[in-house]
Chain A
Amino acid sequence: MVRKLGAMEPELLKNLTKKRATVLYPFEKIELPEAYRGLWSFDINKCTGCGLCAKDCPSGAIELKPTERTKAGRYPINYVSRCMFCSQCQEVCPTGAIKMTPVYELSDYRKKIIDAEAPEGYRYEE
């Protein structure tokens, strides 16, 4: 091994003229790939109410609620604060009713629940 001080110098000089590596979030945002596992989206019209998603969810973030709009009479809601974005529910859903979207800005003061029957598509836990 050659010991010398300053093996780093050329590297430092090169980096003087480089662009900065960080982005000025929240003013600039990086683009995420289409298939990013972010916020849950759910289409109640496709759901049959089979309940497989709730059965396989590793963190118990899905609860089945009664409804008249699906065949089996129930539909899943997602507790976003409990979800760990593994997308196992998306994978197991036989009809493709669940999709993970590249939405990642989820911080909120209240706990959000994705509920297809709520007026805005989500509601807050009381």
Chain B
Amino acid sequence: MAELTQIPKTEELKNEYEIVEEMKNLLGSDLLEYKVPRVNRVWITVPNGKHYKAAEHLYKKMGVWFISTVTGLDLKDHFEVLFHLLDMQRKVEITIRVPVSKDKPELESLTDFYPGANLYEREVYDMFGIVFKGHPNLKRLLLAETFPEGEHPLRKDWTPDKWDPKKVPLIQRKPILPEETSDYVLQVGPQTPTLKEPMNFEVIVDGEIVVDVIPHIEYNHRGLEKAFEQRTFIQGIYMAERVCGICSQAHTLPYCDAVEQLLGVQVPPRGKYIRTMVTEFNRIHSHLLWIGVACHLIGWDTMFMYSWRDREVILDLTDLVCGSRVTAAINTIGGVRRDITDEQIYKIRKGMDILEKRTKTYKKIVLEEDTLLKRAVGVGYLNPSYLKAMSAVGPVIRGSGVKTDVRYDDPHFGAYDEIPFNVCTSDMCDVAGRLVVRVDELIESINIIRYILDHLPSGEVRVKVPRKVPPGEAVSHNEAPRGEVFYYIKSNGTDKPERVKVITPTMANLLPIIESCKGHYIADFVLNFGSIDPCIACMCRTTFIDISKSKPKKWVWTDEEMRRYGIEWYQNRGWRR
């Protein structure tokens, strides 16, 4: 048993070592190695097959119910699969590392204990071709279903020129309904007036009631994780910023934190506080945006306009502090790029006063106005124990009364260990609950910003760091406005990362929210799906199902057929190209 401990056992690390001791007792010589690189982190390595036993123990005996993600790694001679579990009681992020041989890339799935690992394992299968035995539905997730068999783009020996896009057959999704049925498939997305997210759902409806929902998120996969490997760590910051347009700051924070862990540098306190402040700016603008969108989804555009007008306040402040309205670009490896001046502090305080007043008004309206409550109360009920099983994150799980928040469970990525704040929850378990949580979080964020301005330490805002990052690996996460954002970074001693793994909250919330749509009206589907604040990018072709005939007639169109139809349609009406 190799001990890779970098920090000796101290009183501060007693939770970390408690887990290590449990694992030692359970696995004996099967615990190949372990390390505790810093507070809140435990890494254990077990042989293939024993991870199931370890996870079973963690889940059943130690109450670890949350899985952050599953990472795949290609190490030339073998694969590695990392299961990242978060122990919320002990505040420890546990990583179980399992080496998998290349000849027989198979291991047992952990979906028995962590059903929430479903999509993550599918992603690893998709990108690396590692088979998870016992997985309920192992097929491609991010790449198209028709992507050639045996091609897995994140394997190191895979190059894009091995792959000929012309050879990939166009997607011909099979009709999902049996021939004789009264059910109807409704295509929601990628271009629906109400749901602007480019994602496609096949909603199977019986009358007006949703029977089942099949999500398709595989189109237009951007390949960011591969792109990270081809850029330097510094360029990676701006890539991370563009993973999501709205959570820009929320992504750079864990990215920079993970690289700083690898470099072993500490951000100066003032830098940490400024980072945290901009993260809260980010949360405020995202939540205000969401309140607007939610109201827009139910057709209440007055409220949409009001909340977006007030969002300008926070965007202007971001502009003032960071130099741009949405992409803050304030984090850099080793600290922040800009200091704040007294004049800016004065302006931020004034902005916070306006926002506080406005947020209180919203809270009143949200809790009282029937226009909203009629559409939100009782819609999209999600059972807290189901959400816990599915490892849901963010306002979705807090809206069902489960008190989890990465800022609270693992506060070291920012200054959250020094700042007092409440984790807002609601026990309504429905869309209204998620709404209330977000409005409460707005007030909480304003308080955090005020606290930061009152207690802003003096001194430097950044430290100089070398370009080359020593070999190693680190994980970091952040509570983005939508939930947990998770980064795993492995470096190999050069100025480029070997592997960057990103996981975003929409993935964690996708399956639970789909479950909650079943049995509700079609009209509620969009609001319900919108209540997770979805953030995806994709594209699709069209399916038409004609049920007016006695025997339903189905035909599937490809992009090309669709385009031809469009041209003919216009020509028939006298349009010329």
Instruction: List the A side residues contacting B332 at CB < 8 Å.
Output: 91
B467 to chain A, nearest CB (A): 9
Return the contact of A85 from the options B232, B309, B324, B432 (Cβ within 8 A): B324
Is A16 an interface residue, CB under 8 A from the partner? no
Chain A: interface size category: 20 to 34
Is A13 an interface residue, CB under 8 A from the partner? no
CA distance A24 to B565 in the complex (A): 41
Binary per-residue interface labels of chain B (208-235) against chain A in the complex, 1 for a CB within 8 Å, 0 otherwise? 0000000000000000000000011011
CA distance A56 to B364 in the complex (A): 49
Q: In terms of DSSP, what is the predominant structure of the interface of chain B? A: helix
Q: In terms of DSSP, what is the predominant structure of the interface of chain A? A: loop
Instruction: List the A side residues contacting B238 at CB < 8 Å.
Output: 58-59, 84, 86, 88
Instruction: List the A side residues contacting B312 at CB < 8 Å.
Output: 21
A window 29-69: CB within 8 A of B: 32-33, 35-37, 56-59
CA distance A1 to B433 in the complex (A): 12
Q: Quick check: A37 and B324 within 8 Å, CB to CB? A: yes
Return the contact of A11 from the options B235, B365, B367, B432 (Cβ within 8 A): B365
Given A1-B368, A33-B319, A37-B324, the answer on whether A58 and B329 have CB atoms closer than 8 Å is no
Is A100 an interface residue, CB under 8 A from the partner? yes
Q: Quick check: B373 and A58 within 8 Å, CB to CB? A: no
B300 to chain A, nearest CB (A): 9
Is B32 an interface residue, CB under 8 A from the partner? no
Instruction: List the A side residues contacting B302 at CB < 8 Å.
Output: 8, 12
Chain B: interface size category: 20 to 34
Q: Quick check: B234 and A56 within 8 Å, CB to CB? A: yes
Instruction: List the A side residues contacting B235 at CB < 8 Å.
Output: 56-58, 88
Instruction: List the A side residues contacting B242 at CB < 8 Å.
Output: 84
Binary per-residue interface labels of chain A (77-92) against chain B in the complex, 1 for a CB within 8 Å, 0 otherwise? 0000000111110010
B461 to chain A, nearest CB (A): 13
Is A2 an interface residue, CB under 8 A from the partner? yes
Is B95 an interface residue, CB under 8 A from the partner? no
Q: Quick check: B234 and A88 within 8 Å, CB to CB? A: yes
11 pairs, CB–CB < 8 Å, chain A vs chain B: A7-B365, A12-B302, A36-B324, A37-B329, A56-B232, A56-B234, A56-B235, A57-B235, A58-B238, A58-B239, A86-B327
Chain B positions within 8 Å of A, measured between CB atoms, are 231-232, 234-235, 237-239, 241-242, 302-303, 306, 309, 312, 319-320, 323-324, 327, 329, 332, 337-338, 361, 364-365, 367-371, 373, 377, 432
